[in-house]
Chains A and B, each alone.
Chain A
């Protein structure tokens, strides 16, 4: 609800600042640790991690098999581990089946590979509709699948975290692994988009 309620934003801003003062004064949190957490999720842990995993799986058949069999270990091998990625599963899109990930009950999301979830992923609009009308949700992202493609929705109700491996776009045989990673959008790794096809977004 950001952006449309400045008075409320001011109230919550003060509320969070007060909470921080209380917790620091009581010695429960180290203010310097807060800055490290923010720095970590602002510039270290983000969706380029997941893109590197996907690109590797596109170019390395052995890695792809490993990712299917033990995603937690295969992802850790690229250096991506930790909070909200302790139990990873990778699911591959095919022309026959498209995967879409949601957490209808809260905001469960694979942080080590995708970073913090976008606002839409945590929104009631997405969480309510992904499980009953996924094609409608995909249309909101400008994605239209073949009517015969099966849609497989994963509701993250436990501590297993799902990473969608999008299909490799056509005519990319000459690209390097790094160039391939640039085609892998965050949304495509949730299943809300396709690799090589950025969503229509308005800033």
Chain B
């Protein structure tokens, strides 16, 4: 969706402010927001793509005026409500008003280190050969889906070159909406700065995205 999350090339946000690398959190509530997001996600009630879509579905003014852990918190609230695990009334009350529903898994402390160290791979067996090969010229689609997509606006309707074939991966555009993993080939596609940003672009610049096969046409 063309939401506030799609920030590549947007202007006016000012300088980037570096930060010492030993700073992990800026408040204790950020730690809780991180842990709640991961632990709630571990129930398996939604995919990582659905999680991203919940965050990008925030009102643009809300998204842009929230810190990232605020965005996570608000996204988590939406996911819990949309999946029927928590009610709006409970969020308003700030406490549970009825017993919980069964969930796929409750992440226990003893299992947590192994779960975090295992992660969850997103590559899948391919059910067809890759359509493109390294070196192929491709053009990204001029597509503006109302739902989740991982093709940024700045890289739509652009010519690029396939630089790597990464394998078949879960397709976020369906996964985010509970419509299945529908794995597709994933490619790293590289664009020149001029193709993306016009004649005034830095002539030394190239930018790549990782694009699913559906995003691409031969060029």
Binding site for B on A (CB under 8 A): 1-3, 9, 12-23, 25-30, 32-38, 40-42, 45-47, 81-87, 104-107, 112, 115-116, 118-120, 122-135, 137, 140-141, 147-160, 185-187, 192, 199-201, 203
A16 contacts B96, C-beta separation under 8 Å: no
A20 contacts B36, C-beta separation under 8 Å: yes
With A25-B100, A37-B116, A155-B207 already in contact, 6 other A-B pairs whose C-beta atoms are closer than 8 Å:
A13-B27, A17-B29, A21-B96, A30-B106, A41-B24, A131-B207
Q: Which of B159-218 contact A (CB under 8 A)?
A: 166, 169-170, 172, 186, 188, 196-197, 201-202, 204-212
Chain B residues within 8 Å of A130, by CB: 8
Chain B residues within 8 Å of A120, by CB: 16-19
- Is B59 located at the chain interface by the 8 A CB criterion? no
Given contacts A25-B96, A131-B207, A153-B206, contact A36 B112 (CB under 8 A): yes
B86 contacts A26, C-beta separation under 8 Å: yes
Binding site for A on B (CB under 8 A): 5-11, 13-21, 23-29, 31-36, 38-40, 43, 52, 55-56, 64-70, 73, 76-77, 80, 85-86, 90-91, 94-96, 99-101, 103, 106-109, 111-113, 116-123, 150-152, 154-155, 166, 169-170, 172, 186, 188, 196-197, 201-202, 204-212
Given contacts A124-B13, A158-B212, contact A26 B99 (CB under 8 A): yes
Chain A residues within 8 Å of B16, by CB: 120, 123, 125-126, 129, 137, 140-141, 192
- Sample 23 A-B pairs with CB under 8 A, ordered by A number: A1-B67, A2-B26, A12-B69, A23-B39, A23-B80, A25-B95, A26-B96, A27-B99, A42-B24, A45-B116, A83-B116, A87-B121, A106-B56, A116-B34, A118-B23, A120-B18, A123-B16, A141-B16, A152-B206, A153-B208, A156-B210, A160-B166, A201-B19
Chain A residues within 8 Å of B90, by CB: 22
**How far, in whole Å, are A156 and B29 apart by their CA atoms in the complex?**
27
**How far, in whole Å, are A105 and B7 apart by their CA atoms in the complex?**
6
Q: How far is the CB of A50 from chain B (nearest CB, A)?
A: 11
The interface centre, meaning the residue of A13, A37, A150 with most chain B CB atoms within 10 A of its CB, is A37
